[in-house]
Amino acid sequence: MATNQAAFAFYMQHQRVVYYALSRLGVRPQTPDYQDLRQEGMLLYLAYYQQYEEPLNQPVAVQKFNRLAGKIVYLGLLQHRLKWQRRQALEQTAGKQWHQAAAITADRQESSLSGLLMAETFTALAARLTPGERTILDLRYGEQLSNREIALRLNMSPRRVSAVRRQIAVKYLAWQAEP
C-alpha cells in the first residue's frame, strides 16, 4: 500500500491522465464544474494508485497503470456527471412543481381552500428541512428572491444557495414519493 505522499507525487508526474479523461468527456476549462471534476478525477486516480499492487518501476508498468487508471477515472467521472444530470432533472421537475405551487398561493384570495392546502404543504415540508434550508425556502418562495439575492442577504455564494435548493428539491420529491 503506497503512502499518500508517494501517490500524490506520482499523480503530479502523470496528471495528463485526468486531463485526458476530462477532454474525452467534453469538459473544458470554461465549464463551470471543471475544477470539481478535475479534483474528483484526481481523487479517483489517487485511490486507484493506492490499491494497485504491481510495482511501477518500469516504463511499461507505468504505461499499463496509466492506461487502466485513465479508464477508471473516465468511468468514475462519467458516473459522477450522470448523477449530477439526474439531480438537475429532479431539481427542474421540483422547480416546476414549486412554480405551480407559488401560482396557486398567489391566487389564494380566489380560492381559500387551495391556499390552505398550499400552507399545509409548505408547513409539512418545512418540518423536514434544516433551519438553513427553511430560511432559503422562505426567501425564495416567500419573498421571491433570486439565488443571487439570497446569497447576498445570507452572505454565501450563489452556488451554495443552488446546492441547498437542490437538497430541498430532493427532500420534497422524497416526501411526495412517500406512501
Q: What is the pLDDT of residues 56-101, one digit of tens each?
A: 889 999 999 999 989 988 888 888 888 777 777 766 666 666 555 5
Number of domains in the chain: 2
165/103 Cα distance (integer angstroms): 19
Tell me: do 136 and 173 sit in the same domain.
yes
145 Cα distance to chain centroid: 22
Is the pLDDT reported for residue 113 higher than 50?
no
Q: Which comes out higher in pLDDT, residue 32 or 17? A: 17
User: Is there a domain that residue 59 lies in?
Assistant: yes
Residue 110's pLDDT is: 43
Provide the pLDDT for residue 15: 92
pLDDT of residue 98: 59
> Is the model's pLDDT at 16 over the cut of 90?
yes
pLDDT tens-digit series, residues 120-136 = 667 777 788 888 888 88
Q: Domain range holding 35?
A: 4-84
| Structural domain includes residue 99 | no
Q: Is residue 132 part of a domain?
A: yes
How confident is the model over 26-40, as pLDDT tens digits?
889 888 778 888 888
For residue 132, the domain's CATH number is 1.10.10
| Judgement on whether residues 8 and 78 belong to the same structural domain of the protein | yes
Q: Is the pLDDT of residue 177 over 80?
A: no
Whether 57 is in a domain gets the answer yes
Confidence of residue 115 (pLDDT cuts 50, 70, 90): very low
On whether both 76 and 115 belong to a single domain, the answer is no
Q: What is the pLDDT of residues 138-162, one digit of tens each?
A: 887 777 788 888 888 899 888 898 8
* Average pLDDT score, the chain: 79
Mean predicted confidence (pLDDT) in 10-21:
92
